[in-house]
Amino acid sequence: MSVSIVWFRSDLRLSDNPALIKALGSGDAVVPVFVLDVETEGVRAPGAASRWWLHYSLQSLDASLRGLGSRLVLRRGPAEKVLAELAEECGAKAIFWNRVYDQGSRDRDGRLKKLFSERGVTVESFKANLLFEPWEVSTQSGAPFKVFTPFWRACRMLPPPATPLPAPRTLPAPETWPAGDPLAAWRLLPTSPDWAGGLRATWTPGEDGAKQRLSHFVDETLADYRRARDLPAVEGTSRLSPHLAFGEIGPRQIWQAAMTRGASAASEKFLSEVGWREFAYNLLFHNGDLAQRNFRPEFDAFPWADPDDTLDAWQRGRTGYPIVDAGMRELWTTGWMHNRVRMIVASFLTKDLLIDWRAGERWFWNTLVDADLANNATGWQWVAGSGADAAPYFRVFNPVLQGEKFDPDGDYVRHWVPELASLPNATIHRPWAAPVPPPANEYPERIVEHGAARDRALAAFRNLKKSA
Ligand SMILES: Cc1cc2nc3c(=O)[nH]c(=O)nc-3n(C[C@H](O)[C@H](O)[C@H](O)COP(=O)(O)OP(=O)(O)OC[C@H]3O[C@@H](n4cnc5c(N)ncnc54)[C@H](O)[C@@H]3O)c2cc1C
């Protein structure tokens, strides 16, 4: 029996997986493989929190495949070399994968296609990780969109995404399985120290966990999404982002679940957020260096400050601004942070501290379980003002007013910054104004004064404009 290889990447699921269904339809034995590739130039290696997630996601995928009479082969090394060897070993006639969109991976996939075609191995790639391919959406003049609203309007004019594919019920196995690494040998989990307790307590990586989260969201949370999505103290959003980042669930499945309720203002709003993910991928596809370079080149001359111990204070949640510190501690503990708070902490880093957005992007990359090159770079550049359709630089979030507006009862701050728990609502977001401020050895004094920091940021921005 000849063999088809299915190369799993950012699609660690059996449902709605067109590469897998194609392999099954070929009538060949199917060899599913995942390659840990931290060597190929231009492909960003996963950060620490993502490695933790990846371990459990691979474990879960392997268990699901075993339920179908198959298994997941694990190999490590540069994907081109590893896959060429594997195809040779198995005598594979075909290899299938679902597309990814960052520049380094696309370059590598292009080289692989060429190599396999020269060897007479069929190669086919599929749309599974986006609703709309980047080349399916363009302005009337054929250029990529730079502004979200017309981009999403154009997407909505296209035929709706296809119905998700069912998971296979069985997968034909090869006569002999090629050897693979034991997952433990990859040492993806932290050991000394084991800092992942909060991650374990918060998440269930894997396709089943993703499906449960989606149905819980659609049943319990979606109806109130428009109101609750901006309140970090409540579970008002789907928290699907890490599942999406690893492809444990696909965007078509999310689309279908949100739409089964019929189009409503709530599902439209929710899908437009999924649309921001599409927009981010579109930007990354057309700007391969989005995570390294300012989308707007005039920002190249911006006088960022040298990162000093204020960067450390920001990372550790000790800036003296309760909402910023709560967000950074939520991130450190759970590997996730609420979107509203991501915007607040990113504004604080780039404007109050005047630190280059790339330092923040890197920290998020390492600590987020949903770290995603497209969404992260787009989010950071949006807040910094250097990105496509970005918030104007002069829009500086005031961490006190943002806290009072979006965490009016202080519940979010009290949860993540327990040393402030006894402060009344009136001063929970400005502890320095409390009748008895907390002692500095319990909660730090402000590392900058927001009004002065804002003036400094605006002056830097004005100078940039003058010199442009
Ligand atoms: C500075 C900054 C960095 C960010 N880094 C990441 C990142 O690394 N990975 C990541 O997935 N998201 C990132 N985001 C976007 C957003 O904060 C998260 O997607 C969202 O908080 C995830 O929570 P959720 O799944 O409950 O979202 P929901 O509100 O339930 O939205 C559903 C899905 O839509 C997508 N989505 C929602 N909002 C956005 C957005 N603003 N931009 C792009 N996609 C969005 C996500 O895939 C999300 O899972 C970042 C935002 C900012 C401001």
User: How does pLDDT run across 415-445, given as a tens digit for each residue?
Assistant: 999 999 999 999 999 999 999 999 989 999 9
Q: Do 286 and 135 contact (CB within 8 A), yes or no?
A: no
pLDDT at 468 over 70: no
Tell me the CA–centroid distance for residue 339 and ligand 1, in Å.
Answer: 6
Q: Do 86 and 5 contact (CB within 8 A), yes or no?
A: yes
Q: Is 294 a catalytic residue?
A: no
pLDDT at 68 over 90: yes
- In this prediction, what percent of the chain has a pLDDT beyond 90? 94
Which pLDDT belongs to residue 390? 80
For 93-117, what is each residue's pLDDT tens digit?
999 999 999 999 999 999 999 999 9
Rounded to whole angstroms, what are the CA distances from 239 to 214, 216, 247, 327, 406?
Answer: 9, 10, 14, 15, 18
Q: Which of 311, 322, 339, 341 has the alpha carbon at shortest distance from 413?
A: 322
**Which residue has tokens 């497209």?**
374
Which pLDDT belongs to residue 466? 76
pLDDT at 463 over 90: no
Residue with CA closest to ligand 1 atom 48: 241
pLDDT at 59 over 70: yes
Q: Is the pTM of this model over 0.85?
A: yes
Domains and CATH numbers, the chain: 3-128 (3.40.50.620), 130-161+207-286 (1.25.40.80), 297-467 (1.10.579.10)
- What are the structure tokens assigned to 162, written together? 């296809």
Residue-averaged pLDDT of the chain: 96
Mean pLDDT, rounded, for 9-30 = 98
For 141-172, what is each residue's pLDDT tens digit?
999 999 999 999 999 999 999 999 999 999 99
Residue of 7, 52, 53, 380 marked catalytic = 380
- How far from the centroid of its chain's Cα atoms is residue 252's Cα? 17
Task: Round to whole Å and give the CA distance between 56 and 318.
Answer: 31
Rounded to whole angstroms, what are the CA distances from 371 to 45, 55, 127, 141, 307?
Answer: 11, 15, 21, 33, 22
Tell me the CA–centroid distance for residue 337 and ligand 1, in Å.
Answer: 9
Residue of 273, 298, 442, 445 marked catalytic = 273
Which pLDDT belongs to residue 262? 72
For 258-313, what is each residue's pLDDT tens digit?
998 777 999 999 999 999 999 999 999 999 999 999 999 999 999 999 988 999 99
- What are the structure tokens assigned to 66, written together? 């075993």
pLDDT at 462 over 80: yes
pLDDT at 377 over 90: yes
DSSP assignment of 394-421 = T----HHHHHHHHSTT-HHHHHH-GGGT
Q: 189-208: string of b/e by CB count within 10 Å (b at 16+)?
A: beeeeeebeebeeebebbbe
Task: Tell me the torsion sign for CA atoms 231, 361, 415, 432.
Answer: negative
Mean pLDDT, rounded, for 66-79 = 98
Ligand 1 mutation target, pool 221, 277, 343, 349, most atoms within 8 A of CB: 277
User: If pLDDT is split at 50, 70 and 90, which confidence band does 394 have?
Assistant: confident
Q: Which residues does a 6 A CB cutoff place in the pocket of ligand 1? A: 229, 237-241, 244-245, 273-274, 276-277, 280, 339, 342-343, 346, 364, 368, 370-372, 375-376, 379-380, 383
